[in-house]
Amino acid sequence: MRPIVIVPACTRDFGEHPYHAAQHKYCDAVVLGADCAPMILPSLGPALDLETMLQLCDGIMLTGSASNVHPSYYSEDVLDPSLPQDPARDETTLPLIRAAVGRGIPIIAICRGFQEMNVALGGSLHQAVQAVPGKFDHRENAELGMDEQYGDAHKISIVPGGFLHGVLGADEIPVNSLHGQGVNELAPGLVVEATAEDGLVEAFSVGAAPGFTLAVQWHPEWRITHNPYSMKMFGAFGQACRDYRARKQGRL
What residues act catalytically?
111, 219, 221
**Burial level of 240, CB count in 10 A (0-12/13-18/19+)?**
buried
The set of residues, in sequence order, having a beta carbon less than 8 Å from that of 81 and lying 6+ positions away, is: none
Q: Coil, strand, or helix at residue 168?
A: helix
CA angle 83, 85, 89 (to 5 degrees): 155
Distance CA 24, CA 20 (A): 13
Which residue in 179, 81, 189, 197 sits closest to 125, CA to CA?
A: 179
Q: Tell me if 219 sits within 8 A of 178, measured CB to CB.
A: yes
Task: Indicate the SS3 state at residue 14.
Answer: strand
